[in-house]
């Protein structure tokens, strides 16, 4: 049985008590809200009822005036504009939104999504050459461009201007673009720094709508796509992101984009949609297009004016996702066998696996799957042309990029950040790289980071879990980083005698605490059944869910871990 670390968040009892007096809701809810930085009635109102008029003025963003001026000049003089974006959810939703918005006011327009394998991430030479050959003189890049100094310089030599909308951390050298919209620039006064690429594009659309005196709704029409980008790009669900995701979800439920509607139908989703539906059902299908084939069909789906056309592209994405799942499952199984056959790998502090035939589009997902089994920094490599190429994923708290940087003598190229990275190397360097990476990780990782951590918001009694409590909990949606679905701990609970293993893998719980019984499910927790025998008291960590059976609704617990009570 894998032992996990349980970390209970600290609390500010005085702040929670103050909130309790103001809001008159359950003290546990006040405790959770105060942990999330909510201190008074006004902050609570803004949190539970986010309003669009709380969004910041787009003109506060550095270079917004230059960006708007250049685009309006292109529109008034009839220039051809190319909307360019990355092949993931953030990039494709950003391109679809900007393209649809500009299409209303400018006919000389097209979009371009680079091919993941032929062109790679971000601005590509092939994309700039396409622009030149087809007479485009302005490129608006979304979710990419901040690091493309040389390529944007190359475009400039060809008399093609760039407006860059990006949210990745800028280097000291910035590209020679006409305007750079990125709140993470050191000298950008924009108050909220955590926008995704689609969010930066949205800000540009709102500024254009203001300047050109267009209906405000034209810029706000694509908020369901923006909510999808916010959810999929794992940016903090705070401030403006929370406001936009909240209203984007509302739009997805009331009048969804044809592409979202089609994907919902194909994946059997019932309304109302929640943020986790966007993360686990919509986003993987959009991402699958870029992983398995060509992501431009995701944009075509989102910009389709007729539902039937959107459904046509959605079916392609759905099929890509089926292929992706198959490749992901097969590769994961093969990788697990490889590890199990190498004793020294099992005992390592890192994982580096390589097979030349693995599909390049799933290596990042497989790295994440392997972490679920062997909790440690993981790299999955495959053959790409003459080289080995792959993706790396970290465990929380360990700086993966630094570790890979320390192995650079074995690499041709690499890039990434704290939690995820990619690299290319000579085939004959794979073993040396594996050895060096293991040395670096072993020497630098805190042993605690190799034990999965569950962060618990607060302790709770089963008697606290009532419908009014749960209903307020649901109003804390949309959940995401820095506003995660609350995790609870209940101590000294016992099995009622009705807990059982289902489908050999999962554990259906029936637990009692001081006369109150709750049922629930623990996925892949069959090995914990022995803890429940003899009705010995246990402590359980869980999230709260709603269960519907035969038209009856009940509250249930989704168990994350269980251990014998101290």
Report the distance separating Cα 476 and Cα 192, nearest Å.
Answer: 20
- Closest by CA to 262, choosing from 272, 252, 250, is 252
pLDDT of residue 169: 87
| CA–CA gap between residue 332 and residue 393 (Å, rounded) | 14
531-553: b (≥16 Cβ within 10 Å) or e: bbeeeeebbbbbbbeeeeeeeee
Residue with tokens 């192995």: 407
Place of tokens 């997902």: 365
Strand partners, 502: 506
Its pTM stands at 0.92
CA distance 184 to 203: 14
Q: How many residues does the chain have?
A: 566
pLDDT of residue 212: 97
Q: What is the mean pLDDT of each run of 10 residues along the chain (566 residues)?
A: 86 93 95 95 95 97 98 98 95 98 97 90 93 98 95 97 95 96 96 97 98 96 96 93 97 96 91 88 91 93 97 96 95 96 90 96 95 95 94 95 95 88 95 97 96 96 97 95 96 96 94 96 94 92 92 94 94
Residues 424 and 404: their CA atoms lie apart, in Å, by 11
Q: Which domains does the chain have, with CATH numbers?
A: 5-49+454-564 (2.40.50.460), 58-319 (3.90.1640.30), 342-450 (3.10.310.30)
Q: What percent of the chain has pLDDT over 70?
A: 100
Helix-, strand-, coil-residue percentages of the chain, each rounded to 5: 45, 20, 35
pLDDT in tens, 126-176: 999 999 999 999 999 999 999 999 999 999 999 999 999 999 989 899 999
What is the Cα–Cα distance from 317 to 319, expressed in whole angstroms? 5
- Burial letters for 379-403: b for 16+ Cβ neighbours within 10 Å, e otherwise? bbbbbeeebbbbbbbbbeebebbeb
Cβ-defined contacts of 337-345 (< 8 Å, 24+): 339/370, 339/374
Task: Tell me how far CA of residue 4 lies from CA of 444, 453, 520, 532, in angstroms.
Answer: 21, 6, 20, 18
Which two structure tokens, joined as six digits, stand for 16? Answer: 């929670």
pLDDT at 2: 62
């Amino acid at each position: 049985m894998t032992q996990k670390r349980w970390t209970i968040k600290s609390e500010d009892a005085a702040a929670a008590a103050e909130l309790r007096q103001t809001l008159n809701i359950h003290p546990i809810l006040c405790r959770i809200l105060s942990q999330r930085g909510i201190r008074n009635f006004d902050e609570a109102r803004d949190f539970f009822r986010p309003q669009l008029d709380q969004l910041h003025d787009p003109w506060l963003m550095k270079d917004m005036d230059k960006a708007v001026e250049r685009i309006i000049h292109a529109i008034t003089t009839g220039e051809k504009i190319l909307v360019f974006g990355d092949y993931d959810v953030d990039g494709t939703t950003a391109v679809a939104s900007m393209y649809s918005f500009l299409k209303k006011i400018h006919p000389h327009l097209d979009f371009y999504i680079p091919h993941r394998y032929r062109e790679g991430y971000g601005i590509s030479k092939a994309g700039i050459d396409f622009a030149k050959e087809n007479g485009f003189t302005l490129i608006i890049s979304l979710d990419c461009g901040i690091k493309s100094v040389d390529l944007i310089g190359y475009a400039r030599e060809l008399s093609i201007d760039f407006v860059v909308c990006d949210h990745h951390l800028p280097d000291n050298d910035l590209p020679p673009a006409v305007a750079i919209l990125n709140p993470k620039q050191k000298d950008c006064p924009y108050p909220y720094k955590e926008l995704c690429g689609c969010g930066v594009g949205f800000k540009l659309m709102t500024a254009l709508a203001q300047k050109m005196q267009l209906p405000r709704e034209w810029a706000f029409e694509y908020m369901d796509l923006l909510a999808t980008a916010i959810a999929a790009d794992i940016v903090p669900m705070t401030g403006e992101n929370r406001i936009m995701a909240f209203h984007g979800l509302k739009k997805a439920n009331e009048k969804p984009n044809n592409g979202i509607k089609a994907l919902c139908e194909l994946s059997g989703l019932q309304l109302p949609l929640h943020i986790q539906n966007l993360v686990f059902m919509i986003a993987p299908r959009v991402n699958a297009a870029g992983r398995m084939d060509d992501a431009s069909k995701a944009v075509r789906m989102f910009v389709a004016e007729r539902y039937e056309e959107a459904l046509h592209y959605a079916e392609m994405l759905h099929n890509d996702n089926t292929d992706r799942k198959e490749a992901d499952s097969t590769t994961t199984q093969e990788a697990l066998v490889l590890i199990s056959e190498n004793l020294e790998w099992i005992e390592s502090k890192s994982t580096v696996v390589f097979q030349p035939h693995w599909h390049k589009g799933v290596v990042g997902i497989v790295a994440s799957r392997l972490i679920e089994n062997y909790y440690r920094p993981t790299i999955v490599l495959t053959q790409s042309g003459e080289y080995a190429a792959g993706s790396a994923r970290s465990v929380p708290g360990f700086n993966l990029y630094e570790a890979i940087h320390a192995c650079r003598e074995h690499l041709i190229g690499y890039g990434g950040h704290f939690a995820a990275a990619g690299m290319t190397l000579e085939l004959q360097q794979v073993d040396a790289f594996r050895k060096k990476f293991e040395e670096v990780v072993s020497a630098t990782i805190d042993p605690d980071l190799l034990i999965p951590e569950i962060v618990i918001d607060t302790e709770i009694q089963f008697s606290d879990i009532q419908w009014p409590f749960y209903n307020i909990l649901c109003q804390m949606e949309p959940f995401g980083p820095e506003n995660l679905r609350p995790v609870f701990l209940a101590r000294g609970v016992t099995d009622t005698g009705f807990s059982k293993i289902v489908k050999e893998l999962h554990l259906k719980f029936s637990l009692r605490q001081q006369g109150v019984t709750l049922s629930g499910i623990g996925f892949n927790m069959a090995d914990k059944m022995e803890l429940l025998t003899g009705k010995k008291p246990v402590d359980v960590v869980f999230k709260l869910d709603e269960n519907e059976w035969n038209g009856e609704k009940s509250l249930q617990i989704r168990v994350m871990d269980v251990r014998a009570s101290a």
